[in-house]
Amino acid sequence: MVRWGVIGTAQIAKVCVIPAILKSKTGVLQAIASRDLAKAQTLVSKYRQGVAYEGYAALLQDPEVDAVYIPLPNQLHKEWTIEALRLGKHVLVEKPFAMNAGEAVAMAQAARRHGRLLMEAFMYRFHPRSQRIKQLVDEGTLGQISLIRSAFTFPLKRDGSNERLFLPEMGGGSLWDVGCYGVNVARWLLGEEPATVSAQAKYSLSGVDVSFIGTLRFASGALAVVESSFITALQQTYSVAGERGAIELPHDAFVPWEKEAHFILRGADDEHGKIVTIPGADEYQLMIEHFTDAVQGHAQPAISPEDSVNQMRILDALAHAARAGEVVSL
């Protein structure tokens, strides 16, 4: 069993990842750390498992911790990822991987230097629906892919609980928070990196993008359109279309929770298509189990540090394209 330490008490840790560790077949909850000891103690008491630590450094000194999950604000990812790797821990770090590509490179280098596993927590890739769609694309069911569209938007009112999303110095903005999913799914489904990107955005008074549209052009000829927003009604979907067919998802594309998941598969001239149903699954649990398999040498990590470096380079390029109003070559 891989013994997990959780650095921080973010909502995603409490609601998604800690329960996934507890349900997993290959992991146990060893420790939780918070700057506020009471918060860590509350979670340890709730789950009746693990040790509570005040401060992240204290947890990393625990020799019983094999791997750590880092759901801290974006500007802290590099510091605590590198420190955890230095102290011999494997690291699962929340998306986005870092604040920029330069930080991502430093993190990837630290993982290689210390011989530890480092993976970005894009949990949607592990859901059976995502895996089935990837299989259909790779098998050529849709033919040559020409267009991928994605949208992850929701109305977000700024308050004390989400301040980090509105502060540039904390890696705020809709592109970093949820637009990253659309960029990631396009790269993953196509299996290639974009050659050029362009973008436009609407910015808040604090300087972060609250609405963003980016386009990616790939060498294969495929185009991808990515939408993200904090000021738009809920959308959480993507579609992929080729010469022989298309796949469309409902508005639970990245987070279907554990209910049955669906997608529509259409032929080239089919207006309606057929609904494909996938049994419910916990994608967070599947991610944890995959990570522990990779730690134990039973699997290659599905998302390499190099993959995450490339992801950050594209996010950087999109952000620059929107600010400068120009097409950026990669």
Superfamily of domain 124-286+312-329: Dihydrodipicolinate Reductase; domain 2 (3.30.360.10)
What residues does CATH 3.40.50.720 cover in the chain?
A: 2-121
What average pLDDT does the segment 199-228 reach? 97
Tens-place pLDDT, residues 46-91: 999 999 999 999 999 999 999 999 999 999 999 999 999 999 999 9
Q: Decide if pLDDT at 160 tops 90.
A: no
> Of the candidates 128, 185, 125, 175, which has an alpha carbon nearest to the alpha carbon of residue 153?
175
Within 10 Å of residue 34's Cβ, how many Cβ atoms?
Answer: 23
What residues does CATH 3.30.360.10 cover in the chain?
A: 124-286+312-329
Spatial CB neighbours of 241, under 8 Å, sequence gap ≥ 6: 142, 145, 146, 147, 148, 247
* pLDDT score for 133: 98
- Dihedral of the CA atoms 94, 96, 102, 103 (nearest 10)? -30
pTM attached to this predicted model: 0.96
What's the chain look like in SS3?
CEEEEEECCCHHHHHHHHHHHHHCCCEEEEEEEECCHHHHHHHHHHHCCCEEEECHHHHHCCCCCCEEEECCCHHHHHHHHHHHHHCCCEEEECCCCCCCHHHHHHHHHHHHHHCCCEEECCHHHHCHHHHHHHHHHHHCCCCCEEEEEEEEECCCCCCHHHHHHHCHHHCCCHHHHHHHHHHHHHHHHHCCCEEEEEEEEEECCCCCEEEEEEEEEECCCCEEEEEEECCCCCEEEEEEEECCEEEECCCCCCCCCCCCEEEEEEECCCCCCEEEEECCCCHHHHHHHHHHHHHCCCCCCCCCHHHHHHHHHHHHHHHHHHHHCCCEEC
Please check whether the domain covering 2-121 is classified as CATH 3.40.50.720: yes
Q: What is the mean pLDDT of the chain?
A: 97
* pLDDT score for 161: 87
Tens-place pLDDT, residues 231-243: 999 999 999 999 9
What average pLDDT does the segment 24-32 reach? 95
Tens-place pLDDT, residues 172-198: 999 999 999 999 999 999 999 999 999
Name the percent of the chain lying above pLDDT 70: 100
